[in-house]
Amino acid sequence: MKTFTFLIGLSLCCKFSVFSRKIIDLSYDFGPKSISWPGNPSFNLSHLLIGKQPGGFWLEKNWFSSNEHRGTHIDAPAHFYFGSLHIHQIPLDDLIGPGIVIRATKEANENNDFVMNKDFILNWEAENGQIPHGAIILLDFDWARRYLTFDENIIFGTKTVNDVSSYHYPGIGPDAMTYLVKEKHIKAIGTDATSPDAGQAVNYPSHRICGRYNTTIIENVANLASMPIKGSTVFLAAIKLKGGSGVPARVFAILDDDSCNMAATNIMSSSLFTIMIVFSIVNCYNGI
């Protein structure tokens, strides 16, 4: 009976811990200040109706317009590859996956044109273990600091925002992208910069590789400094925009509660083991 009570207590404790798990918001507020590729129409949110109604209750509703690729958003594979998936076709399973954060904050600060290559990823794996299949990769270039200035010159690393060839920000190279997509079968790749292709990349090679292999991209990811390099589940909560080439998203991560889970599993299995032994002994005594 004691063991039984203990097990119930333990399962309640672990059930409870699900609610106390840490959730990290990986999205910025979506609004007029959200960063977008220069030249896009501006975001617009305006009141359709706001105020106290004749019935005595408050009512507020708005109308907004925006381009798809603004602020923290996902790119559908169709964005850069004809015939690939549009937003509404991305399987839900591809929008949830184990989070793997690859940090290159030092490299990107020292060289704004830093391009992460395959060797960098292989070294990461040598140090931190294999990237699991189906991961959602998040590249931390310490670009959040720049995003939060809301200054296009700082974010795109240029003095001439209208000249795309003058952009300087870090990204991932086609060799690394191919490795992640073809050998690691990642579901998605995110960056805290404005694009997985570095500012100086020509013709968006990494975008096109993702497009070709139906891999989703996440741009302007927030709060990567708060993320563990592994041990999380990332959610790309985007509306199912029919025919969309991209869409703003509420991206977040739930951290694994390893300490509780492991302790619980260990205690649970050892308790079960004890019960089994007790039952076997009782059964032996009873001659069953």
64-93: contacts with ligand NAG (CB under 6 A): 83-85
Q: Which residues contact 5 (CB under 8 A, 6 or more apart)?
A: none
Output the CA–CA distances (angstroms, integers) from residue 196 to 45, 73, 80, 158, in the order listed.
29, 13, 13, 17
30-69: contacts with ligand NAG (CB under 6 A): 42, 44, 46, 63
Output the CA–CA distances (angstroms, integers) from residue 253 to 6, 40, 133, 250, 273, in the order listed.
31, 29, 18, 10, 35
145 close to 139: Cβ distance less than 8 angstroms = no
| Cross-strand partners of 97 | 234
For residues 42 and 269, which CB has a smaller minimum distance to ligand NAG in the complex? 42
Cα angle: 16, vertex 19, 24; to 5 degrees? 150
179-218: contacts with ligand NAG (CB under 6 A): 213-214
Q: What φ, ψ does residue 248 adopt, rounded to 5°?
A: -60, 145
- Using DSSP, how many helices (H) and how many strands (E) does the chain show? 8, 12
What whole-number distance in Å separates Cα of residue 77 and Cα of residue 85? 5
For residues 46 and 259, which CB has a smaller minimum distance to ligand NAG in the complex? 46
Least Å distance, CB 35 to ligand NAG, is: 18
For residues 80 and 114, which CB has a smaller minimum distance to ligand NAG in the complex? 80
Half-sphere exposure of 242 (CA within 13 A, CB side): 0
For residues 6 and 63, which CB has a smaller minimum distance to ligand NAG in the complex? 63
Total residues found in the chain within this entry: 288
For residues 63 and 273, which CB has a smaller minimum distance to ligand NAG in the complex? 63
Q: Does 287 bind ligand NAG (CB under 6 A)?
A: no
For residues 27 and 66, which CB has a smaller minimum distance to ligand NAG in the complex? 66
Least Å distance, CB 125 to ligand NAG, is: 24
Site string for ligand NAG, 152-171 (x = CB under 6 A): --------------------
Q: Which residue, among 279, 201, 244, 229, has the nearest Cα to 127 in the 3D structure?
A: 229
For residues 37 and 213, which CB has a smaller minimum distance to ligand NAG in the complex? 213
Q: How many residues bind ligand NAG (CB under 6 A)?
A: 9
What whole-number distance in Å separates Cα of residue 241 and Cα of residue 8? 44
Least Å distance, CB 213 to ligand NAG, is: 5
Least Å distance, CB 185 to ligand NAG, is: 11
Q: Does 242 bind ligand NAG (CB under 6 A)?
A: no
Here the tokens at position 136 are: 């959602």
Least Å distance, CB 245 to ligand NAG, is: 14
Least Å distance, CB 210 to ligand NAG, is: 11
Contact residues for ligand NAG (CB under 6 A)?
42, 44, 46, 63, 83-85, 213-214
